Amino acid sequence: MMIETTNLTKTFGDVRAVDGMDLAVEEGSLHGFVGPNGAGKTTAMQMLVGLLRPTEGEAYIDGEKAGTIAAKEKIGYAPQEPAFHESMTAKRYLVYMGKTAGMGSRANERADELLDWLDLADAADQTISGFSGGMRRRLSLAQAMIHEPELLILDEPTAELDPTGRRIIIESLEELTEEGITVFVSSHVLAELEQFIDTVSILRDGQLVETNDVSAIQSEYGGQAFSVETSDDERVVALIEGREWISEVRIEGDAIMVATDQPDEFKSELQTLLAEEGILLEGLSEEGSLEEAFADIMAGGEAE
Protein backbone atom coordinates (compact mmCIF):
# COMPACT_ATOMS: atom_id res chain seq x y z
CA MET A 1 0.00 0.00 0.00
CA MET A 2 1.21 3.49 -0.78
CA ILE A 3 -0.85 4.96 2.06
CA GLU A 4 -2.03 2.93 5.02
CA THR A 5 -3.52 4.36 8.20
CA THR A 6 -4.88 2.63 11.27
CA ASN A 7 -7.22 4.45 13.62
CA LEU A 8 -5.66 7.74 12.51
CA THR A 9 -7.02 10.39 14.85
CA LYS A 10 -6.37 14.07 15.52
CA THR A 11 -8.17 16.06 18.14
CA PHE A 12 -8.03 19.81 18.72
CA GLY A 13 -9.53 20.32 22.17
CA ASP A 14 -13.01 18.82 21.90
CA VAL A 15 -12.97 18.65 18.10
CA ARG A 16 -12.20 15.24 16.61
CA ALA A 17 -10.95 16.64 13.30
CA VAL A 18 -9.92 13.15 12.11
CA ASP A 19 -11.61 10.33 13.95
CA GLY A 20 -10.33 6.76 13.74
CA MET A 21 -9.53 6.73 10.03
CA ASP A 22 -8.52 3.38 8.47
CA LEU A 23 -7.42 4.21 4.97
CA ALA A 24 -5.63 2.14 2.35
CA VAL A 25 -4.50 3.56 -0.98
CA GLU A 26 -2.81 1.26 -3.46
CA GLU A 27 0.32 2.13 -5.32
CA GLY A 28 -0.38 3.72 -8.70
CA SER A 29 -3.96 4.68 -7.94
CA LEU A 30 -5.56 8.06 -8.38
CA HIS A 31 -7.45 8.40 -5.17
CA GLY A 32 -9.97 11.13 -4.46
CA PHE A 33 -10.35 12.31 -0.88
CA VAL A 34 -13.70 13.98 -0.75
CA GLY A 35 -15.76 15.61 1.95
CA PRO A 36 -17.51 18.85 2.78
CA ASN A 37 -15.70 21.80 4.35
CA GLY A 38 -14.43 20.93 7.80
CA ALA A 39 -14.62 17.15 7.24
CA GLY A 40 -10.95 16.79 8.19
CA LYS A 41 -9.27 16.44 4.79
CA THR A 42 -6.53 18.97 5.42
CA THR A 43 -5.84 17.65 8.91
CA ALA A 44 -5.55 14.07 7.61
CA MET A 45 -3.24 15.15 4.79
CA GLN A 46 -1.05 17.09 7.19
CA MET A 47 -0.62 13.93 9.26
CA LEU A 48 0.29 11.94 6.14
CA VAL A 49 2.97 14.43 5.12
CA GLY A 50 4.29 14.71 8.68
CA LEU A 51 3.28 18.30 9.43
CA LEU A 52 0.97 17.20 12.24
CA ARG A 53 1.45 14.39 14.70
CA PRO A 54 -1.53 12.07 15.19
CA THR A 55 -3.25 12.14 18.57
CA GLU A 56 -3.88 8.42 18.14
CA GLY A 57 -3.24 5.79 15.51
CA GLU A 58 -0.66 5.53 12.79
CA ALA A 59 0.01 6.33 9.16
CA TYR A 60 2.47 4.66 6.80
CA ILE A 61 3.70 5.83 3.42
CA ASP A 62 4.89 2.90 1.31
CA GLY A 63 5.77 1.12 4.53
CA GLU A 64 7.58 4.06 6.14
CA LYS A 65 6.09 5.73 9.18
CA ALA A 66 4.58 9.13 8.30
CA GLY A 67 6.77 12.00 9.42
CA THR A 68 10.08 10.16 9.05
CA ILE A 69 12.60 11.36 6.46
CA ALA A 70 12.17 8.12 4.52
CA ALA A 71 8.43 8.77 4.26
CA LYS A 72 8.82 12.47 3.43
CA GLU A 73 11.17 11.72 0.57
CA LYS A 74 8.46 9.71 -1.14
CA ILE A 75 5.90 12.52 -0.99
CA GLY A 76 5.24 15.65 -2.99
CA TYR A 77 2.74 17.90 -1.23
CA ALA A 78 0.77 20.85 -2.55
CA PRO A 79 -1.01 22.51 0.38
CA GLN A 80 -4.40 24.16 0.16
CA GLU A 81 -2.82 27.59 0.53
CA PRO A 82 0.61 27.41 -1.05
CA ALA A 83 3.26 29.74 0.36
CA PHE A 84 6.09 30.70 -1.99
CA HIS A 85 9.13 32.92 -1.84
CA GLU A 86 7.27 35.71 -3.58
CA SER A 87 10.31 37.68 -4.75
CA MET A 88 11.87 34.70 -6.54
CA THR A 89 11.16 33.90 -10.18
CA ALA A 90 9.21 30.70 -10.79
CA LYS A 91 12.24 28.95 -12.23
CA ARG A 92 14.57 29.97 -9.41
CA TYR A 93 12.01 28.91 -6.84
CA LEU A 94 11.62 25.46 -8.36
CA VAL A 95 15.38 24.96 -8.64
CA TYR A 96 15.74 26.12 -5.04
CA MET A 97 13.03 23.69 -3.89
CA GLY A 98 14.70 20.89 -5.87
CA LYS A 99 18.09 21.61 -4.30
CA THR A 100 16.50 21.77 -0.85
CA ALA A 101 15.18 18.28 -1.57
CA GLY A 102 18.73 17.19 -2.34
CA MET A 103 18.53 17.11 -6.12
CA GLY A 104 21.78 18.75 -7.24
CA SER A 105 22.18 19.88 -10.85
CA ARG A 106 19.27 17.78 -12.15
CA ALA A 107 16.96 20.34 -10.47
CA ASN A 108 17.52 22.80 -13.30
CA GLU A 109 16.42 20.45 -16.05
CA ARG A 110 13.53 19.11 -13.99
CA ALA A 111 12.30 22.69 -13.30
CA ASP A 112 12.25 23.40 -17.05
CA GLU A 113 10.35 20.17 -17.74
CA LEU A 114 7.72 20.99 -15.13
CA LEU A 115 7.32 24.63 -16.21
CA ASP A 116 6.82 23.42 -19.74
CA TRP A 117 4.39 20.71 -18.73
CA LEU A 118 2.26 23.10 -16.67
CA ASP A 119 2.16 25.87 -19.29
CA LEU A 120 4.37 28.12 -17.20
CA ALA A 121 7.42 28.25 -19.49
CA ASP A 122 6.64 31.81 -20.56
CA ALA A 123 6.42 32.90 -16.94
CA ALA A 124 9.58 31.10 -15.83
CA ASP A 125 11.49 34.33 -15.30
CA GLN A 126 8.67 36.34 -13.74
CA THR A 127 8.59 36.90 -9.99
CA ILE A 128 5.93 34.87 -8.23
CA SER A 129 4.38 37.96 -6.58
CA GLY A 130 2.79 38.83 -9.95
CA PHE A 131 1.28 35.36 -10.51
CA SER A 132 -2.47 34.83 -10.86
CA GLY A 133 -4.34 32.27 -8.74
CA GLY A 134 -4.22 29.71 -11.55
CA MET A 135 -0.48 30.18 -12.06
CA ARG A 136 0.07 29.75 -8.33
CA ARG A 137 -1.81 26.45 -8.31
CA ARG A 138 0.27 25.17 -11.19
CA LEU A 139 3.50 26.33 -9.60
CA SER A 140 2.45 24.60 -6.40
CA LEU A 141 1.95 21.37 -8.34
CA ALA A 142 5.36 21.80 -10.00
CA GLN A 143 6.92 22.36 -6.58
CA ALA A 144 5.32 19.17 -5.29
CA MET A 145 6.72 17.21 -8.24
CA ILE A 146 10.22 18.65 -8.43
CA HIS A 147 11.96 15.76 -6.64
CA GLU A 148 10.07 13.09 -8.62
CA PRO A 149 8.02 11.77 -5.71
CA GLU A 150 6.20 8.44 -5.76
CA LEU A 151 3.16 9.93 -4.07
CA LEU A 152 1.52 13.28 -4.70
CA ILE A 153 -0.70 14.67 -1.96
CA LEU A 154 -2.73 17.58 -3.30
CA ASP A 155 -5.06 19.57 -1.07
CA GLU A 156 -7.90 21.00 -3.18
CA PRO A 157 -5.70 21.79 -6.19
CA THR A 158 -8.66 23.09 -8.20
CA ALA A 159 -10.22 25.31 -5.49
CA GLU A 160 -11.06 28.85 -6.57
CA LEU A 161 -9.96 28.34 -10.15
CA ASP A 162 -11.89 29.36 -13.23
CA PRO A 163 -12.90 26.56 -15.64
CA THR A 164 -9.76 26.95 -17.76
CA GLY A 165 -7.50 26.84 -14.71
CA ARG A 166 -9.30 23.72 -13.49
CA ARG A 167 -9.01 22.03 -16.82
CA ILE A 168 -5.25 22.57 -16.98
CA ILE A 169 -4.77 21.07 -13.51
CA ILE A 170 -7.09 18.12 -14.17
CA GLU A 171 -5.51 17.33 -17.52
CA SER A 172 -2.09 17.45 -15.90
CA LEU A 173 -3.21 15.01 -13.20
CA GLU A 174 -4.71 12.72 -15.83
CA GLU A 175 -1.33 12.56 -17.53
CA LEU A 176 0.25 11.34 -14.32
CA THR A 177 -1.78 8.14 -14.52
CA GLU A 178 0.48 7.02 -17.32
CA GLU A 179 3.58 7.56 -15.22
CA GLY A 180 2.44 5.30 -12.38
CA ILE A 181 2.57 8.02 -9.74
CA THR A 182 0.10 7.58 -6.88
CA VAL A 183 -2.07 10.67 -6.52
CA PHE A 184 -4.07 11.43 -3.39
CA VAL A 185 -6.19 14.48 -4.13
CA SER A 186 -8.83 16.22 -2.05
CA SER A 187 -11.83 18.23 -3.08
CA HIS A 188 -15.22 19.10 -1.69
CA VAL A 189 -16.60 18.79 -5.22
CA LEU A 190 -16.61 15.16 -6.26
CA ALA A 191 -17.71 15.98 -9.81
CA GLU A 192 -14.35 17.62 -10.40
CA LEU A 193 -12.46 14.47 -9.60
CA GLU A 194 -14.71 11.66 -10.81
CA GLN A 195 -13.54 11.89 -14.40
CA PHE A 196 -9.97 10.91 -13.60
CA ILE A 197 -9.78 9.23 -10.18
CA ASP A 198 -10.15 5.45 -9.90
CA THR A 199 -10.81 5.11 -6.19
CA VAL A 200 -12.40 7.47 -3.73
CA SER A 201 -12.72 7.92 0.01
CA ILE A 202 -15.51 9.99 1.40
CA LEU A 203 -14.99 11.75 4.67
CA ARG A 204 -17.56 13.33 6.92
CA ASP A 205 -17.04 14.68 10.45
CA GLY A 206 -13.55 13.19 10.53
CA GLN A 207 -14.77 9.68 9.71
CA LEU A 208 -14.48 7.66 6.54
CA VAL A 209 -17.99 7.10 5.28
CA GLU A 210 -16.97 5.00 2.31
CA THR A 211 -13.87 3.98 0.44
CA ASN A 212 -14.19 2.17 -2.86
CA ASP A 213 -13.70 2.16 -6.62
CA VAL A 214 -15.43 5.09 -8.24
CA SER A 215 -17.41 2.69 -10.42
CA ALA A 216 -18.61 0.75 -7.36
CA ILE A 217 -19.80 3.94 -5.70
CA GLN A 218 -21.51 4.97 -8.90
CA SER A 219 -23.42 1.73 -9.19
CA GLU A 220 -24.10 1.42 -5.47
CA TYR A 221 -25.69 4.83 -5.43
CA GLY A 222 -27.56 4.44 -8.69
CA GLY A 223 -24.87 5.64 -11.06
CA GLN A 224 -25.91 8.12 -13.63
CA ALA A 225 -29.64 8.56 -14.14
CA PHE A 226 -31.23 9.64 -17.39
CA SER A 227 -34.70 10.68 -18.36
CA VAL A 228 -35.52 9.49 -21.89
CA GLU A 229 -38.49 10.36 -24.03
CA THR A 230 -39.26 8.41 -27.18
CA SER A 231 -42.12 7.79 -29.58
CA ASP A 232 -42.66 4.31 -28.05
CA ASP A 233 -41.51 4.16 -24.43
CA GLU A 234 -42.91 0.72 -23.67
CA ARG A 235 -41.15 -0.85 -26.61
CA VAL A 236 -37.87 0.86 -25.59
CA VAL A 237 -38.14 -0.45 -22.03
CA ALA A 238 -38.73 -3.96 -23.36
CA LEU A 239 -35.70 -3.61 -25.62
CA ILE A 240 -33.20 -2.33 -23.07
CA GLU A 241 -34.30 -4.19 -19.93
CA GLY A 242 -31.67 -6.65 -18.79
CA ARG A 243 -28.82 -5.21 -20.87
CA GLU A 244 -25.50 -5.10 -19.03
CA TRP A 245 -25.25 -1.32 -19.49
CA ILE A 246 -28.49 -0.76 -17.58
CA SER A 247 -28.78 -0.95 -13.77
CA GLU A 248 -32.43 -0.03 -13.64
CA VAL A 249 -35.17 1.06 -16.04
CA ARG A 250 -38.80 2.03 -15.52
CA ILE A 251 -41.48 4.26 -16.96
CA GLU A 252 -42.26 7.33 -14.92
CA GLY A 253 -45.06 9.48 -16.31
CA ASP A 254 -44.18 10.51 -19.85
CA ALA A 255 -40.56 9.45 -19.65
CA ILE A 256 -38.33 6.42 -19.15
CA MET A 257 -36.03 6.66 -16.14
CA VAL A 258 -32.77 4.82 -16.64
CA ALA A 259 -29.96 4.26 -14.16
CA THR A 260 -26.61 3.14 -15.51
CA ASP A 261 -23.03 2.98 -14.39
CA GLN A 262 -21.93 3.06 -18.03
CA PRO A 263 -23.47 6.30 -19.29
CA ASP A 264 -21.44 6.53 -22.50
CA GLU A 265 -22.19 2.95 -23.45
CA PHE A 266 -25.85 3.53 -22.64
CA LYS A 267 -26.13 6.62 -24.83
CA SER A 268 -24.50 5.05 -27.86
CA GLU A 269 -26.34 1.71 -27.55
CA LEU A 270 -29.67 3.48 -27.10
CA GLN A 271 -29.20 5.51 -30.25
CA THR A 272 -28.25 2.46 -32.28
CA LEU A 273 -31.28 0.52 -31.00
CA LEU A 274 -33.71 3.35 -31.68
CA ALA A 275 -32.37 3.81 -35.19
CA GLU A 276 -32.69 0.06 -35.87
CA GLU A 277 -36.27 0.01 -34.57
CA GLY A 278 -37.37 3.25 -36.20
CA ILE A 279 -38.28 4.80 -32.85
CA LEU A 280 -37.85 8.55 -32.41
CA LEU A 281 -35.77 9.98 -29.59
CA GLU A 282 -37.72 12.98 -28.35
CA GLY A 283 -35.65 13.87 -25.32
CA LEU A 284 -32.63 12.71 -23.32
CA SER A 285 -31.46 14.49 -20.20
CA GLU A 286 -29.11 13.63 -17.36
CA GLU A 287 -30.90 13.42 -14.06
CA GLY A 288 -28.24 12.47 -11.60
CA SER A 289 -24.53 12.05 -11.28
CA LEU A 290 -21.98 10.83 -8.82
CA GLU A 291 -22.22 14.29 -7.32
CA GLU A 292 -25.81 13.55 -6.34
CA ALA A 293 -24.86 10.14 -5.06
CA PHE A 294 -22.27 11.93 -2.98
CA ALA A 295 -24.89 14.34 -1.66
CA ASP A 296 -26.98 11.30 -0.67
CA ILE A 297 -24.04 9.77 1.17
CA MET A 298 -23.37 13.04 2.95
CA ALA A 299 -27.00 13.37 3.99
CA GLY A 300 -27.59 9.71 4.67
CA GLY A 301 -25.89 9.21 8.01
CA GLU A 302 -24.02 6.19 6.70
CA ALA A 303 -20.88 6.65 8.80
CA GLU A 304 -20.02 3.67 10.92
Ligand X SMILES: Nc1ncnc2c1ncn2[C@@H]1O[C@H](COP(=O)(O)OP(=O)(O)OP(=O)(O)O)[C@@H](O)[C@H]1O
Contacts with ligand X, residue ranges (CB under 6 A): 12, 15, 17, 35, 37-43, 80, 188
CA-to-CA separations, 12 to 23, 43, 53, 186, in angstroms, rounded: 21, 10, 12, 21
Q: Backbone dihedral region of 266: left (phi > 0), alpha (psi from -120 to 50 degrees) or beta? A: alpha
Residue 35 or residue 50: which is nearer to ligand X going by CB?
35
Distance of CA 100 to the CA centre of its chain: 28
DSSP string, 137-201: HHHHHHHHHTT--SEEEESSTTTT--HHHHHHHHHHHHHHHTTT-EEEEEES-HHHHTTT-SEEE
Residue 3 or residue 94: which is nearer to ligand X going by CB?
3
Residue 20 or residue 28: which is nearer to ligand X going by CB?
20
Residue 37 or residue 130: which is nearer to ligand X going by CB?
37
In angstroms, give the least distance from the CB of 45 to ligand X.
Answer: 8
Residue 37 or residue 164: which is nearer to ligand X going by CB?
37
In angstroms, give the least distance from the CB of 140 to ligand X.
Answer: 15
263-283 b/e with 16+ CB inside 10 Å = b? beebbebbeeebeeeebeeee
Residue 189 or residue 284: which is nearer to ligand X going by CB?
189
**Segment holding 270, helix H or strand E:** helix 263-277
Rounded-to-10 torsion of CA 144, 149, 151, 155: 0
In angstroms, give the least distance from the CB of 289 to ligand X.
Answer: 21
Task: Let me know the angle formed at the C-alpha of 30 by 29 and 34, rounded to the nearest 5 degrees.
Answer: 130
Residue 121 or residue 159: which is nearer to ligand X going by CB?
159
In angstroms, give the least distance from the CB of 153 to ligand X.
Answer: 12
In angstroms, give the least distance from the CB of 37 to ligand X.
Answer: 3
Terminus-to-terminus CA distance in the chain, angstroms? 23
